[in-house]
Amino acid sequence: MSKLTPLQSSEFKSKVLEAAKPVMVDFSATWCGPCKMLDPVLEELAADYGETFDFYSVDVDQNSDLAMTYGVMGVPTVMLFKDGEMVERLTGYRPRKRLEALFFGK
């Protein structure tokens, strides 16, 4: 079972913007090759950091309003939200070490 919970537009405010802890959101699409490559990396991060961060995935085809709101022009786009604000953003596939450095300061 995936450690990244699928998220719908209707849940975004309560689960991301009003979350008590930092939230990582993966904007992706089922047809996207780089998204499929990134999935196992994000699963590992969710397994390792799931105690201190929430992890969600947003299908941009099913939630195009969210993609437009956050200016997602390419997938995968991973965003980190803290206290209701987007604080980091990365588009395209990146290896785990790059994601950890940017999002978790490792």
What amino acid positions are annotated as catalytic residues? 32, 35
Six token digits for residue 64: 């195009």
Do strands 5-6 and 23-28 pair parallel, antiparallel, or not at all (unpaired)? unpaired
56 strand-pairing partners: 5, 25
Cα separation, 40 vs 1, whole angstroms = 12
Cα separation, 63 vs 78, whole angstroms = 15
58 strand-pairing partners: 27
